[in-house]
Amino acid sequence: MLKISGSITKEEDFKLSLSIIILAAGQGKRMNSDKPKVLNLLAGKSLLTHVCETATKIEHREIYIVYGCGGEQVRDSLKNSQVTWVKQKEQLGTGHAVQQVLPSIPKTDDILILYGDVPLINETSLTKLVKAAADTGFSLLTAYFDEPYGYGRIVRDSSDNIVAITEEKDATEEEQSICEVNAGFMVIKSEILNSWINSLNNKNKQNEYYLTDVVAMAVKDNIKVSPVLAESVIEVQGINTRAQLSEAERYYQIVQAYRLMDEGVGISDPSRFDLRGELEIGSDNEIDVNVVMEGRLKLGNNISIAPNCLIKDTIIGDNVKIFANSVIENSVIGNDCRIGPFARIRPDSILDNHVHVGNFVEIKKSSLGKRTKANHLSYIGDAEIGNDTNIGAGVITCNYDGANKHKTSIGDNVFVGSDAQLIAPVRIGDGSTIAAGATITKNVGSSSLAISRAEQKSVPNWERPKKK
């Protein structure tokens, strides 16, 4: 029997030193993609990022990520994270992957094994798993599936103790009927795992070194495996196909939608709502169907968002109405604004209070002052516009000369007539009027009228050409 040095009697006497291993070396052939499986996106973040973020919530000494397929792509995806990378040059199974890390882990540590393609794993389940290992040195996460196809089965003896895990491809007909499955997550004393890891063999149908074989070794050494039931089935489901990825995405989004509704947000249809980031939101807000929110967002109170809108990395004030099919990115929207339909607010734009941006208007890297309006078919790029200014239909700030961008400055209480072109760099003074159809290439002083048109001519008795 293998002895665990320093036996543990009470949880309060036990000071945890935990290393976490995330296995992320697999290729994911069933995804039919050149992209490493763990880099596929769920809710705007890679599968591996989800797992790593959950891991960081568990008190730990170090996080190790075993990578292989995709190499530098995988490392680059978490280049700002505090993790240690370990390369698995040959993908010879989960046991072999863990073997690459063990020399770096103190034998006094506990080791939590996670998987980079199981993104919905719950912090609560992992916390229970870590605590369960305090007594025996070995705990295992399990789940019950109505249709357990593809998962290793948990084999128990007459006393209900776990005695083995049998992989799907190696299971007998009787074992395949078992509905309790191995979720893959386990916590093992490093000292114990080191004593077993070199005894793993690849005498199975996949010719791989299964980490799950350590369960049988534990039984042989009279070490009890402490089972922990997962909080939910969905959290332990691995992502191996695009269909599974889609199912996980919808589950994740439904959870986000119901959480927001519990906080008082009105969502017309939770099945047609997507949050791909972090949302801070006030009260009395209404979100219609097919709205996608990405990145970091902060929304105020009494906001209505119509169907088919995309809002990304944006701050929005109170009493704002966003009409259908509008896109807002990396911008700041003040109180009492109206945007859309079919408006596009591009990055680094700032709308002050009571601003109106109407249909088919594009704002790029520009600021619009209080009560300023651009209601129809205009492009405003690299511009600074004051208060109480009206931008007519079809107005364009011509900010690009083919090589460089230039700024347009428009003061307060300016009226820019329809179909005007403002050739930057140019400044329009306060209280000025730009006549419709004008092409402005020079600065316009305050309280001035600027007209730039070819002389209109009329030819009487004109006869239109006719086909011969």
What are the residue numbers of the active site?
376
Q: Is the distance from CB of 305 to CB of 291 less than 8 angstroms?
A: yes
Among the listed residues 398, 399, 400, 396, the one whose alpha carbon sits nearest the alpha carbon of residue 418 = 396
Burial of 177 (0-12, 13-18, 19+ CB in 10 A): exposed
Buried b / exposed e over 60-95, threshold 16 CB at 10 Å, is bebbbbbbbbbeeebbebbeebebeebebeeebbbb
5, 111, 197, 221 from 136: Cα distances, Å: 12, 13, 18, 12
For the chain, give percent helix, strand, coil, nearest 5: 20, 30, 45
User: What is the dihedral angle through the alpha carbons of 199, 203, 204, 206, rounded to the nearest 10 degrees?
Assistant: 90
For the chain, the straight-line distance linking the first and the last C-alpha, in angstroms and rounded, comes to 107
Strand-pairing partners, residue 64, are: 21, 84
Strand-pairing partners, residue 67, are: 24, 87
- For residue 30, what are its two tokens? 């069933």
Residue 369: CA count within 13 A, CB half-sphere: 14
